[in-house]
Chains A and B, each alone.
Chain A
Amino acid sequence: MALLQIAEPGQSAAPHQHKLAIGIDLGTTNSLVATVLSGEAKTLADQNNQVMLPSVVHYTQNGIEVGANAFKNAALDAENTLVSVKRFLGKSKADIESEYTQLPYKLSEQNGIFNIETCQGPINPIQASSEILKTLKKRAQDSFGGDDITGAVITVPAHFDDAQRQGTKDAAELAGLNVLRLLNEPTAAAVAYGLDSGQEGIIAVYDLGGGTFDISILRLSQGVFEVLATGGDASLGGDDFDALLVEYFKQKTAQNELDSPSLRLFMSKAKACKEALSEYKKVNVILEFADQSHTVEVTKELFNELAAPFVKKTLRACRRAVKDAGITNEEVLEVVMVGGSTRMPIVRDQVGLFFEKRPLTSIDPDQVVAIGAAIQANILVGNKPDSDMLLLDVLPLSLGLETMGGLVEKIIPRNTTIPVARAQEFTTFKDGQTGMVLSVLQGERELVDDCRALAKFSLKGIPPMAAGAAHILVTFKVDADGLLSVSAMEKSSGVQAEIQVKPSFGLSDDQVSQMLKDSMNFAKEDMQARMLKEQQVEALRVIEAINASLVEAKNLLTESELTTLEVEIDKLIQLRETATTPEQLKTAITELDNASSDFAARRMDDSIKKALTGQSVDQV
């Protein structure tokens, strides 16, 4: 047996200090935070020992409440209590008004941003989400004894489009989190089960939450996860099963219309009844409302009969996803269950029958996503340099451009592995046309009106030519988080236009940084000091990264290149101590970054060569 090592007091045992990384499951109904401590991933609880934080934000005259307390106010102060804001992320006011007709909120729109009017003024869904993230961040910091968090992995549904992903990332930035990666929820769940180690094959992730259903088909080979297909139903979840029971109760108590307190009572009784039926064969529900009292008996058989059509609906989506993935049911190696609604026995049984194997349920289905995110965060932050795991994700929805006649030309089809860059040529429609509006769309349909408009930008200054003579090269780039940037160039003249796609109803970078400033209740000097400290941390990170690279691959540099680089490093080391403004330090960091970019490129090429000659870098 190996002996455990204990470090000298005050000294770190490992050459690289353990960095604090967290995984966050930012859910529609509940949110959670988890971390890896002593090699084990676990969710973090609040002071009341609650792991799940209801995704509810309550704005009051005196401040902001998040979680269980806010949840209590949902009914009392509905218009100031934002519930399930995840549904609103990356959507426009018009989207929301057409999708949800009975919201208790006053909606408004300002400079293209959609807001909910609260007693604290207009609040957009990104700000509200950031309050949830701040609460979880604080919870994590408290459990780490106040230490700073190096980075976070935040999960998103696999089907989230660019606007929704961007909204999630902006919310995290607003909460002061360094986002290491946005991770798809099903991938996180599979990671939590350690399916990345050793096994090879197809994994299905069945996620039935409070209000949404997602099915994802993943392939695992040689430590690599690929999302082969996703599917689901954005408006089917545990709440729908509750609604079935509410209807049944209404029928049994001969009620047509219920006032809202009674409806709430029926809903909570329905939920409790559903949960009880996971353990008991029969439940007696006592309904006391408006001077009436009824007892309704619900058997497991009855519930299963009521629920069957919904379960079937989820299985139809499963069949579709299996087909999209180009596989058969027998090829599915494991089925991972996610979401509280998968506790229902009928769901487990039917899913088991469908995939012909017993689904994995040993990790709490409410916590499994956060746990997987924490494991990935721990790796990304550099705590496990020997990890062989690699998650390859795909684009959830096709990206394209609007062409004449309101048609969509797909540039990158869905399920393309990311990151990816694709270019396509377009041309002018009229003689002498000097400008062009590029409308970026996301979705699977052929018509512009059926797809989601992500952004519009224009390319101006095209030299006048005959229709069809100009060659406009449009390049779409999607990074590892699934976020898009688009550039356009007229080839003969070199006229260019470029945008980071910020959805029309999302926030611009300036708006994010302004909000960030607004949200910090610091005097200007404090703010300056804080930003300087952040740059000092960043400088150290860059210096350490380059030094580590030098140890690995000094041989790729000539004597004089090495000297130049070392001089630059020393310069930054000194400036880190002496700089008085964050800008000063930021410039110096960029300079060192630039000075080392050739070295970085050479190292990358070198490691590519080594990867294919079959020897690992450390053997050289």
Chain B
Amino acid sequence: MKYFELFSLPINFNIDLALLNQAYLRLQKTVHPDKFAHKSSKEQLLAVQKSAEINDALHVLKHPLKRAEYILAERGVDIRAEQQTLQDPMFLMQQMELREELEDISSASDPEDEIEAFEKKIQMLEKDFHQQLTALIDQTELVQLERAADVVRKLKFIYKLRDELERVEDSLLDD
């Protein structure tokens, strides 16, 4: 769990974002290339590498999905490059319905209200999956971790929906 160690944080899916950010800034103040602008080229190169590594670690830990995938990978269940689809008809059905709902938003009479309502719905789902994940991800048995991986796969759908909602919102702003 190199990334957690890097920021001196306990290995946990529920992370203290304020602490993470504090540690991040303190590290960047130490290694950022700006601090080495007048040093030797070797040191400058090293600083760029370290700084990039810290940026990457922050990027992974900050995002719940990436954080979950990272923890799972470190525990031996790496799903980061997989193409596997989800085997859960109920969930997939629900997703299709949500997608249709999303498509109708831009033609609704009051799209802004609809967007807000849809956002709430997604947030509820997200919260629910986060809770499931919290309970499963710190287990040591493989069965539990596999179940956690399934929750992560579902979360991916949710985040994709959220991205698309944002796109709808953007296109409304453009008009």
- Residues of A participating in the B interface, judged by any CB pair closer than 8 Å: 19, 150-151, 180-181, 221-224, 319-320, 323, 379-382, 388, 390-392, 416-422, 425, 477, 479-480, 541-542, 545-546, 593-594, 596-597, 600-601, 604, 607-608, 610-612
6 closest Cβ pairs, A-B complex: A380-B37, A382-B38, A480-B33, A611-B30, A419-B52, A421-B52
Q: B residues within 8 A CB of A421?
A: 49, 52-53, 56
CB-contacts of B18-69 with A (<8 A): 21-23, 25-35, 37-43, 46-53, 55-56, 58-59
Beta-carbon contacts of B56-85 to A below 8 Å, as 1s and 0s? 101100000000000000000000010000
Query: In the assembly, what is the distance between CA of A543 and CA of B146, in Å?
Result: 55
A380 touches B38 (CB 8 A): yes
Q: B residues within 8 A CB of A477?
A: 52
A420 touches B30 (CB 8 A): no
In whole Å, how far is A19's beta carbon from the nearest beta carbon of chain B? 8
Q: B residues within 8 A CB of A222?
A: 22, 25
A612 touches B34 (CB 8 A): no
Is B8 in contact with chain A by the CB < 8 A criterion?
yes
Asked, given contacts A181-B37, A417-B55, whether A597 binds B26 with beta carbons under 8 Å apart, the answer is: no
A601 touches B46 (CB 8 A): yes
Asked, given contacts A420-B56, A593-B42, A612-B8, whether A604 binds B29 with beta carbons under 8 Å apart, the answer is: no
Contacts A151-B38, A593-B40, A604-B43 known; 8 new A-B pairs at CB < 8 A? A221-B21, A224-B25, A390-B32, A392-B28, A417-B55, A417-B59, A418-B52, A604-B46
B7 touches A381 (CB 8 A): no
Q: B residues within 8 A CB of A416?
A: 55, 59
In whole Å, how far is B136's beta carbon from the nearest beta carbon of chain A? 28
For the complex, count residues of B whose C-beta is within 8 A of A: 39
Pull 7 A–B residue pairs with CB atoms less than 8 Å apart, ordered by A: A151-B37, A224-B25, A323-B170, A390-B35, A416-B55, A419-B33, A545-B38
Q: A residues within 8 A CB of B21?
A: 221
A425 touches B81 (CB 8 A): yes
Q: B residues within 8 A CB of A594?
A: 42
Q: How many A-B residue pairs have CB under 8 A?
A: 110
In whole Å, how far is B108's beta carbon from the nearest beta carbon of chain A? 20
Is B96 in contact with chain A by the CB < 8 A criterion?
no
Residue of B nearest to A389 (CB): B34
Q: A residues within 8 A CB of B55?
A: 416-420
Query: Of the candidates B35, B38, B40, which one forms a contact with A381 in the assembled complex, judged by CB atoms under 8 Å apart?
Result: B38
B81 touches A596 (CB 8 A): no
Query: In the assembly, what is the distance between CA of A596 and CA of B40, in Å?
Result: 10
A612 touches B23 (CB 8 A): yes
Asked, given contacts A600-B46, A604-B46, whether A323 binds B173 with beta carbons under 8 Å apart, the answer is: yes
A600 touches B42 (CB 8 A): yes
B42 touches A596 (CB 8 A): yes
A608 touches B37 (CB 8 A): no
Query: In the assembly, what is the distance between CA of A222 and CA of B27, in Å?
Result: 12
In whole Å, how far is A169's beta carbon from the nearest beta carbon of chain B? 14
B28 touches A224 (CB 8 A): yes
Residue of B nearest to A607 (CB): B30
A600 touches B34 (CB 8 A): no
B25 touches A604 (CB 8 A): no
Query: In the assembly, what is the distance between CA of A418 and CA of B47, in Å?
Result: 12
Q: A residues within 8 A CB of B81?
A: 425
In whole Å, how far is B73's beta carbon from the nearest beta carbon of chain A? 15
A608 touches B31 (CB 8 A): yes
Query: In the assembly, what is the distance between CA of A479 and CA of B37, in Å?
Result: 12
Q: B residues within 8 A CB of A600?
A: 40, 42-43, 46
In whole Å, how far is B115's beta carbon from the nearest beta carbon of chain A? 13
Q: Which of B37, B49, B51 is most buried by chain A, counting CB atoms within 10 A of its CB?
A: B37
Query: Of the candidates B27, B39, B46, B170, which one forms a contact with A612 in the assembled complex, judged by CB atoms under 8 Å apart?
Result: B27
Q: B residues within 8 A CB of A479?
A: 33, 48
In whole Å, how far is A598's beta carbon from the nearest beta carbon of chain B? 10
Q: B residues within 8 A CB of A381?
A: 37-38
A480 touches B51 (CB 8 A): yes
Query: Of the candidates A151, A181, A480, A610, which one forms a contact with B48 in the assembled complex, judged by CB atoms under 8 Å apart?
Result: A480
Residue of A nearest to B33 (CB): A480
In whole Å, how far is B2's beta carbon from the nearest beta carbon of chain A? 12
Q: A residues within 8 A CB of B33?
A: 419, 479-480
Asked, given contacts A323-B173, A480-B32, A611-B26, whether A604 binds B50 with beta carbons under 8 Å apart, the answer is: yes
CB-contacts of B140-155 with A (<8 A): none
Residue of A nearest to B170 (CB): A323
B52 touches A420 (CB 8 A): yes
Residue of B nearest to A546 (CB): B40
Query: In the assembly, what is the distance between CA of A30 and CA of B33, in Å?
Result: 30
Q: A residues within 8 A CB of B28?
A: 224, 390, 392
Residue of B nearest to A150 (CB): B38
Query: In the assembly, what is the distance between CA of A181 and CA of B33, in Å?
Result: 10
Q: Which of B6, B7, B28, B29 is most buried by chain A, counting CB atoms within 10 A of its CB?
A: B29
Residue of A nearest to B27 (CB): A611
In whole Å, how far is B116's beta carbon from the nearest beta carbon of chain A? 15
